[in-house]
Chains A and B, each alone.
Chain A
Amino acid sequence: MTVKPTSWIGASVERLEDKPLVTGRGRFAGDVSFPHQLHMRMVRSSYAHGRLKAIDVTEARAVPGVVAVWTADDIADLPPIDFREGPNEKLAPFRQSVLAKDVVRYAGEPVAAVFATDPYVAEDAAELVTMDVDELDAVIDASLPASEFAAGLTTEPTICRQGYGDIAAAFKGAAAIVEMDLSVGRHSGVPLETRGAIGRYDAARDVLELHGAAKVPHKNRESLARMFGRSTAGVHLYEGHVGGGFGVRGEIYPEDVLVLVAAMRLGRPVKWLEDRREHMIAANHSRQQRHCIRAAVDAEGRLIGIDDDFFHDQGAYIRTHGTRVADTACGILPGPYRLPHYRVNAHFRLTNKTPAATYRSPGRYETNFVRERLMDAIARKLGLSRIEVRRRNLISPDEMPYERPLVALGDEVVLDSGDYEGLLNKALERCQWDRLEREVAERRKAGEYVGLGLAMYVEKSGLGPTDGARVNVHTNGEVEVITGGASVGQGFETVIAQVCAETLGVDYKRVRVIHGRTDRIEYGIGAHATRATVMTANATAVAAGKVRVKALDMAAQLLQTDAGQLTIVNGSVMRTDGAGASIDLGDLAHHLRPVSPTRGERDPGLAAEGWFTTAHMTYPYGVQIALVRIDPSTGGVDIEKMLIAFDVGRSINPMLVRGQLVGGFVQGLGGALFEEFQYDERGQPLSVTFADYLMPTAHEVPEVDILVTEDAPSSCNPLGIKGAGEGGVAAVGAVIASAVDDALGGKGLITQIPITPQAVKAMIDGQRK
């Protein structure tokens, strides 16, 4: 009998994370408390722009229970919050100070911090802080000419430029030119758990601790250590459960810095929990861009060149990401199409709104909308079908790997693998596109406003360059994988356990995955840019492979069998033919203890470290198709059918991949139809509660058909993985716009998202006149 090992990669197993979460035993930031802790409450500017002449904290300080009230003067020695990737001289003057000094630049900007023994008292006292502000004009529209930011500085800190070829010649030789003015609204991740930070200084160990960390604990440790002039050895970050990340959570914000400084200076742990209103005006916004874009095409609809000037509404300051979102937008805009000439200028503009940064699929949600609107317009101009114009421009599989002289996230763009037309064909067949088109035509004749939309896109994932993991088998057979990854709720522990289980030959439930702990592993890149599964899983496979070799070697001695005849099944080493004795991994770990006489010359421990390095990111790709119906009396959009076809190279856990795609789709739907941070002309935020920032509920969500393919495994990593975390959300704005536009007659009326019922109703009424 031959022994067949269980296959964990590709299995839709239940998540290791779930049990504490369904039984109320999770540990989110709000659940972390330390004895004798203080509570911090922020005082925020109620003005969008103004000179801060004076702050009066006398009354607040007098409230019993208040220990301290700080303004900028109390922390004058602290530098502004720096960029994650290190200092940048050009952008440095636009960074946010921890507390506002002299000028306030958005409603919600931290101006003072109150520390008290009780959170209710802190909030009472915060309301007693008064400020004297001379209001200045607020900049609300990023596409107006730049104005003064400060003496000698304008509200356009930089223009991100990318491109190649000869754009003037491209337009000269064009058979047709299509020009559009397209806008994406301001929305963001808005996780259900607001931010939270607990600072603690342990004088006994001389360690400064930040609890409630997320996303990039190791990188933030470096930034914070630099900021405080401390050794990284004396700063540790601890990630517990994270109630949604989406790019927003886990960056360094003023509040994170304040709890740490206060913990050191006040000598007590300091806890801060954001309330929802604060979250809407203080945590990173995202997305808002206006693109003035032109395409030059030949007579057959083939792209010759794209020329894009866009205005990126960064909000009031440049935060930890620097210009990354705008840069990524430039690098990824061409998508799955051949593009001989390209020029893009991203006008990176400051306004008097909450600062912006990344939100799930940053730079792609926006540019997929823009590029796919453009492709629909080209089809219309040349009288081609929307499918045909795309087919003529798609990069073909035999052109892979496809190098583009562009940069995204600091990485040269090399599309590693993909059969874009193959996936298009599969998607069209899956949804029976031709039949849907006929049905739509018939229903339109009957007076209905129905439409079909299509969007194609290339995602990016697996940002490197290097990630490591340590696999350690304990003497009871339990396997610990210590990673520098992070979990934002996506199922990180489960997929890493599956990869370790598959490589090592154990049940995935026997694997414990450590993440988000700077005190357990020296390096880590965390969870962003859809990198965790690609990078950390591959590093885990390397480490687990080494442990396997060591286990077989030890077992070969003990079982007096050649290691080549042995395998590991369910945590036991046995002969591949099933004959003879077996030995458990826990027993082998026992034999490998430092004091064990059987260990021989081997290094102690059934453990190993593994590293994985990649030259480039890997690029999954997708097709989204939507069928929508508009209610002409309200302008409301109903999604009747939705298909997401997405190639992930190789799926570790199909159930979780599907979960990522569906969840991402619904977030994208919010940005396409409902969600928007709106401001009045004085820069007052109008979307500060869940009653006016509308996120999709179970009511708004259609059934989503998901087609996950594994046609193009990544050539960048041995497991062939491409990430799935951002594939669901990336093209939703694009596909919904395409479908609504089609329902309105396919005239190119939809030029901005979110598509509000008011706008749609006005378009229908306009057509009827």
Chain B
Amino acid sequence: MTERREITLTINGTAHKVTVEPRRTLADVIRDDCGQTGTHIGCEHGVCGACTVLVDNEPVRSCLMFAVQAEGRSIRTVEGLQQGEQLHPMQEAFMRHHALQCGFCTPGFLMLAVGALEKRPDLNDEELVDILSSNLCRCTGYENIIKAVRAAAADMKARA
């Protein structure tokens, strides 16, 4: 297992050349080898969704993917949502609607919701709840997360 491979990961448009064991998860490499610690690891078995990132614009559990599988693909993490000083509408909505308390699950929810809405801006409420139920939050009781995502969906459409 100690054979290492050199790969290049493109995270938020920046290329990171890293040498990793093939068994290293994408989540670990994003965090430890590329220094992007905004992506969090909550369960390492693909249930909680805290580690959700976008790979080729699809939300994926980065704890269930090996880094070597992400080579040559576009990875987006929470650090890439902000454009300069301008926060993403989803980030703003989470703040405005008190959709986070401890903030540990937040990057996963942000990436999940952004990924879903970029693809399908017209998701109805039921579909949104369905998508958001794939991640776990232990603080908010989800009410404000749902409110924030609804509000951000409208903002994203307006800004599009």
Binding site for B on A (CB under 8 A): 14-15, 17-19, 21-28, 30-31, 120, 124, 189-194, 241-246, 275-276, 488-491, 655-656, 658-659, 662-667, 689-691, 695-699, 701, 703-704, 728
The answer to whether B144 touches A243 (Cβ under 8 A) is: no
Can you list 19 A-B contacts with CB-CB less than 8 angstroms, sorted by A residue number?
A14-B95, A18-B95, A21-B103, A22-B91, A23-B79, A23-B87, A26-B38, A31-B37, A192-B40, A192-B50, A194-B42, A241-B104, A244-B139, A658-B98, A662-B143, A663-B138, A666-B140, A699-B129, A701-B141
The answer to whether A193 touches B96 (Cβ under 8 A) is: no
The answer to whether B143 touches A697 (Cβ under 8 A) is: no
The answer to whether B141 touches A22 (Cβ under 8 A) is: no
| Complex Cα–Cα for A289 and B13 (A) | 54
Question: A659-B140, A699-B129 known; 16 other A-B pairs, CB under 8 Å?
Answer: A22-B87, A22-B94, A22-B103, A22-B110, A23-B78, A31-B31, A243-B40, A243-B105, A244-B104, A276-B43, A489-B101, A663-B138, A666-B141, A666-B142, A689-B45, A701-B142
Most chain A C-beta atoms within 10 Å of own C-beta, residue among B37, B79, B82, B96: B37
Mostly helix, strand, loop or mixed at chain A's interface?
loop
- The one of A244, A655, A699 in contact with B138, judged by C-beta atoms closer than 8 angstroms, is A244
The answer to whether A244 touches B102 (Cβ under 8 A) is: yes
Q: In the complex, what's the smallest C-beta–C-beta distance from B75 to chain A, in angstroms?
A: 13
Q: Does B8 contact A (CB under 8 A)?
A: no
The answer to whether A192 touches B145 (Cβ under 8 A) is: no
Q: In the complex, what's the smallest C-beta–C-beta distance from B23 to chain A, in angstroms?
A: 7
Q: Does B41 contact A (CB under 8 A)?
A: yes
- The one of A22, A27, A241, A695 in contact with B102, judged by C-beta atoms closer than 8 angstroms, is A241
The answer to whether B38 touches A24 (Cβ under 8 A) is: yes
Chain B: how many interface residues by the 8 Å CB criterion? 55
The answer to whether B100 touches A22 (Cβ under 8 A) is: yes
Q: For B44, what are the chain A residues with a Cβ–Cβ distance below 8 Å?
A: 275-276
| Complex Cα–Cα for A34 and B160 (A) | 43
Residue of A nearest to B41 (CB): A30
The answer to whether A23 touches B81 (Cβ under 8 A) is: yes
Q: In the complex, what's the smallest C-beta–C-beta distance from B15 to chain A, in angstroms?
A: 19
Residue of B nearest to A25 (CB): B38
| Complex Cα–Cα for A655 and B129 (A) | 22
Q: For A662, what are the chain B residues with a Cβ–Cβ distance below 8 Å?
A: 140-141, 143-144
Q: For A656, what are the chain B residues with a Cβ–Cβ distance below 8 Å?
A: 98
The answer to whether B78 touches A690 (Cβ under 8 A) is: no
The answer to whether A241 touches B103 (Cβ under 8 A) is: yes
Q: Does B107 contact A (CB under 8 A)?
A: yes
Segment 96-132 of B: residues with Cβ below 8 Å from A: 96, 98, 100-107, 110, 129-130, 132
- The one of B106, B134, B136 in contact with A695, judged by C-beta atoms closer than 8 angstroms, is B136
| Complex Cα–Cα for A243 and B51 (A) | 14
The answer to whether B136 touches A490 (Cβ under 8 A) is: no
The answer to whether B104 touches A243 (Cβ under 8 A) is: yes
Q: For A728, what are the chain B residues with a Cβ–Cβ distance below 8 Å?
A: 141
| Complex Cα–Cα for A15 and B79 (A) | 20
The answer to whether B142 touches A193 (Cβ under 8 A) is: no
| Complex Cα–Cα for A18 and B101 (A) | 8
The answer to whether A701 touches B91 (Cβ under 8 A) is: no
The answer to whether A659 touches B91 (Cβ under 8 A) is: no
Q: Does B55 contact A (CB under 8 A)?
A: no
Contact A701-B143, Cβ < 8 Å, known A21-B103, A489-B101: yes
Q: In the complex, what's the smallest C-beta–C-beta distance from B128 to chain A, in angstroms?
A: 9
Q: Does B133 contact A (CB under 8 A)?
A: yes
Q: Does B21 contact A (CB under 8 A)?
A: yes
